[in-house]
Amino acid sequence: MSNEYAVEMRDITKKFGGLIAVDSVSFKVKPGEIHALCGENGAGKSTLMNVLTGKFLASSYSGEILLNGNKVKINSPKDAKKEKITIVHQELELIPDLSIAENIFLGNQPTTATGVNWKKMNAEAQDILEKFSLNLNVKTKIKYLTVGQQQLVEIAKAIYLGGNVLILDEPSAPLTGREIDFLLATLEKLKKTGISIIYITHRLEEVFKLSDRVSVMRDGKMIDTFSTKEINVEELVAAMIGRKMENMYPDMDTEVGDVTLEISNYSVPHPLYDTNIVEDASMKFRAGEVVGISGLLGAGRTELMSAVIGAYKMKGNGTVKLNGKEVKFNSPAAAIKAGIGYVTEDRKMTGLILNQSIRFNVSMASLSRIIEHGVLSPSKEKVIVNELKDGLHIKTENIENPVSSLSGGNQQKVVLAKWLATKPGILILDEPTRGVDVGARFEIYMIIKELAAQGNTIIIISSDLPEIIGISNRVYVMYEGKVHGELLKDELGEDSIMRYATGIA
Amino acid sequence: MENMKKEKKGLKKFTDFALSNFVIVAFVILFISSYFLSPAFFTKNNLLSVLIQNSIYAICAMGMLIIIITGGIDLSTGAYVCIVVCLTAGLIQDGHGVASIFIVLVMALGIGAVSGSMVAFLNIAPFIATLAMTTILKGAAYMYQTGQNRRIDGTFLPKWVKSSTLGVPNPVLVMIVVYLVVLFVLNRTRFGRGIYAIGGNKETAYLAGIKVKSYLVLSYALGGMCFAISGILLCGRLGMGTATVGEGYEMDAIASVVIGGASMNGGTGSVTKTIVGAMFMGVLYNIMNLMGIASYPQMIVKGVVIVLAVLLYKTK
């Protein structure tokens, strides 16, 4: 048996229903290497790692996993733990009200005859932190740490649990510059102890700074694995995005008019820390124009636009002008009144009321249109909702059906209908086609283009590069809270956007 | 074959209807069985007394429904009833006449607004906010009541409560009016739509421009007013003020709402089914009394009924 690889995944295929999330992927990690795993959102990276960490039963996917040359079956997170594979998720799994020491030893506390051996636990925890040169008191509650420190505690915990293979899912996303440097240095040190590290990231700089090798996934397939030294940024970006552009974006010439919405020097404070999540952003939007806002997750796109309409938990600073007049929206209600609609990114959490009917959901934001003398008019409501249902081809027999009975694409159309019912002059769409099938996607693009052709202002926040290139007249790219670039129609390309979005350009 | 299919479809339709309107079906069954179980049940006097007695509970239940639709709860129902009984009697004794009723109603509206503000603006859990309100109101009621004789026999209130309009006992009339108002508010106003939305998904409601905070305050205020109406009727029935009443009213109100099919998570609930829920509990008690079942076993039956109702709604 060869021990060349600490982890070897062979021909892994994992389907969710009819959807192939991971398509006969092979992935090998050497002992003592830092192996970066790159790819766009939805490329299959997380699913692949979930396979490795026992999130799925071994019978639910095909292919095999070898650890140090030995075939293993990983059926549960417990199995993964036994095999010394640990993962640090993007969403931290620490308990905020327990101390650092308690979190590190959770479920594993040293005991005496009468209970937890606090002395021993705290001393050992302090030892672990010192190994990471973390200068923290182990009795501090987790909630008093910065996200960066929490991340490092989580990694320390993962190491303590005895990882041979450590998987980090976008560990640097919540970290500040200094913390990232510290994290990278820590990982370098760890690597020397022989641990294999799989590092999932969107930030290409980190790939080049840190990794020994880099594997790229796209559309569920493993594209290639490179030695990081032998590849440059352009080649890596090309590998990540090199898919054919499907021609599903309706071509429609629209007449671009005056500036309707103007945001200048706009900053939004971070809800928890003393930093800005959006820094000094300035953007202009015109009538008849579809403007894209691109950037990676956490670049501050959603925070910017939701703060502008008064929907974010923090108040932004800066000026917002609507048709040349300075405005300030303290709540979404005020923005709706001024003719701004906001299709939020998560339809289940913030777009729909799932236990209610299609009718209820569609008319929710435009009740003033169906109220006569202070009384709701059900007949008027029916007319408006049915019109939108037909116009958007929402597939249902009856608008009284619960919205939860619809498919994802049709649910998204209900959200869209809700905002169209308010007759907005400016429509902001945040990830409007996430989880939407191809057919419904095309319909949504058609609606967007038509709205623009009617002289409305459309703003699209999207992580889907082909989409944002296909649909936008112009694109702003954000990176770490700042507007990093503005690309005109003829400058739009996946590589040009990616360069701005990853902070290279 | 075709016929069988039709029959099957019809049957499915029927079971669907029966499950989502379980309380109505159950009420009809209970009513018919009661007719056979005790000869004293289906008499005019008995039915009227059940109706009058339970109109007070039903009005509380409708107030509770408004609050439960928002995803909240009000545990101070009994305390409202208690302080309202004391105050109404006291104000009438002091010679304020019919104005006493309005004073008490406005006060209840204010108390509800305070509870609602604690929930909406201070983000205190409804359970805690209204629990605190319970002891505040109870304390106030005892302070107001201790050592006082608050008999109001012979004044307008007891007389009115004990009489009828067009053959309908006045408490029942009040219940019908409250029912119609709540029905209208829930189904035909912006506020009604708003609270269903808030209970269904607060975040979505807020983003759709619904005034979440003011609607929450208003819900607790309207709920409080319903509780006060019950308290005023009870005061009239008793013909005096006393701080020993109201115990357990919140639990009966919650039970009626839940038996009426509303979810404690908020976002659902029907006022018609809530009233039927309240009447169901009333008839159940009545028939058990008529059959000579002691009060402790009655409590057990009540608990079992609540659990069964919730389970049946879940199967839908």
Q: Which pLDDT tens digit goes with each residue over A52-86?
A: 998 888 888 999 999 988 999 998 888 888 888 88
The full set of domains in chain A, from first to last, is 7-241 (3.40.50.300), 258-339+425-438+451-505 (3.40.50.300), 349-423 (no CATH)
The 3-class SS string of B25-94 reads: HHHHHHHHHHHHHCCCCCCHHHHHHHHHHHHHHHHHHHHHHHHHHCCCCCCCHHHHHHHHHHHHHHHHHC
CA atoms of B261 and B269, how far apart (whole Å): 6
CA atoms of A413 and A488, how far apart (whole Å): 29
Dihedral sign computed on CA atoms, order A108, A123, A153, A149: positive
Question: DSSP class of residue A311?
Answer: -
Q: Which amino acid is at B159?
A: K
CA atoms of A186 and A88, how far apart (whole Å): 15
CA atoms of A215 and B273, how far apart (whole Å): 60
- Average of per-residue pLDDT values in chain A: 86
Of B187, B192, B267, the CB nearest to A355: B267
- CB under 8 Å to B108, separation ≥6 — which residues? B80, B84, B224, B225, B227, B228, B231
Does B200 contact chain A (CB < 8 Å)? yes
Dihedral sign computed on CA atoms, order B76, B79, B81, B84: negative
Give the number of other Cβ atoms within 10 Å of residue B139's Cβ.
13
Beta strands in A114-243 (DSSP E): 115-116, 165-169, 196-200, 213-218, 221-227
Nearest 5°: the CA angle A200, A203, A206 is: 85
Nearest to B229 by CA among B156, B171, B273: B171
pLDDT at A1: 42
Disruptive mutation site among A344, A346, A348, A364 for chain B (greatest number of B CBs within 10 Å) = A364
Is A87 in contact with A167 (CB distance < 8 Å)? Answer: yes
Nearest to A160 by CA among A169, A148, A152: A152
- Distance from A91 to chain B by nearest Cα, in Å? 21
CA atoms of B119 and B277, how far apart (whole Å): 27
CA distances from B102 to A280, B181, B201, B228 (A): 56, 18, 35, 10
**Which residue intervals of B94-239 are DSSP H helices?**
99-120, 126-145, 156-162, 170-188, 190-200, 202-207, 212-238
Structure tokens at A435: 């989880």
- CB under 8 Å to A232, separation ≥6 — which residues? none
Element (DSSP H or E) covering residue A27: strand A19-29
Does A371 contact chain B (CB < 8 Å)? yes
CA atoms of A208 and B308, how far apart (whole Å): 63
CB-CB neighbors (< 8 A) of B197 in chain A? 353, 356, 360, 364
Stretches where chain A sits below pLDDT 50 are: 1-2, 244-246
* Inter-chain CB proximity B208 and A344 less than 8 Å: no
* Inter-chain CB proximity A331 and B267 less than 8 Å: no
**Rounded to the nearest 10 degrees, how much is the dihedral formed by the CA atoms of A153, A156, A162, A167?**
80
A202-261 residues touching B, CB cutoff 8 A: none
CA atoms of B274 and B260, how far apart (whole Å): 4
Does B180 contact chain A (CB < 8 Å)? no
CB-CB neighbors (< 8 A) of A353 in chain B? 196-197, 200-201, 204-205, 267
CB-CB neighbors (< 8 A) of B263 in chain A? 355
CA atoms of B109 and B92, how far apart (whole Å): 19
B240-299 residues touching A, CB cutoff 8 A: 263, 267-268
- CB under 8 Å to A342, separation ≥6 — which residues? A305, A306, A309, A311, A332, A335, A419, A427, A428, A430, B207
Global model pTM greater than 0.90: no
CA atoms of A64 and A435, how far apart (whole Å): 29
* Domain coordinates in residue numbering, chain B: 47-315
For chain A, helix, strand, coil in percent to 5 are 35, 30, 35
B47-315 classified as CATH 1.10.3470: yes
Of A342, A356, A367, the CB nearest to B200: A356
Tens of pLDDT along chain B (316 residues) come to 455 555 666 777 777 777 778 888 889 999 999 999 999 999 999 999 999 999 999 999 999 999 999 999 999 999 999 999 999 999 999 989 899 999 999 999 999 999 999 999 999 999 999 999 999 999 999 999 888 888 888 899 999 999 999 989 999 999 999 999 999 999 999 999 999 999 999 999 999 999 999 999 999 999 999 999 999 999 999 999 898 898 889 999 999 999 998 988 999 999 999 999 999 999 999 999 999 999 899 989 989 988 888 888 776 5
Burial (CB count <10 Å: 0-12, 13-18, 19+), residue A124:
middle
Beta strands in A132-203 (DSSP E): 165-169, 196-200
pLDDT at A232: 85
> Which residues are A458's β-sheet partners?
A290, A427
CA atoms of A11 and A14, how far apart (whole Å): 10
Is B109 in contact with B225 (CB distance < 8 Å)? Answer: yes
- Distance from B133 to chain A by nearest Cα, in Å? 29
The 3-class SS string of A92-137 reads: CCCCCCCEHHHHHCCCCCCEECCEECHHHHHHHHHHHHHHCCCCCC
Disruptive mutation site among B189, B195, B204 for chain A (greatest number of A CBs within 10 Å) = B204
CA atoms of A90 and A134, how far apart (whole Å): 20
* Inter-chain CB proximity A351 and B204 less than 8 Å: yes
Residue/partner pairs of A70-74 with CB below 8 Å, 24 or more apart: A70/A1
Q: Report the chain B residue with the minimal C-alpha distance to residue A356.
A: B200
CA atoms of B286 and B131, how far apart (whole Å): 30
- CB under 8 Å to A53, separation ≥6 — which residues? A74, A77, A80, A85, A86, A87, A167
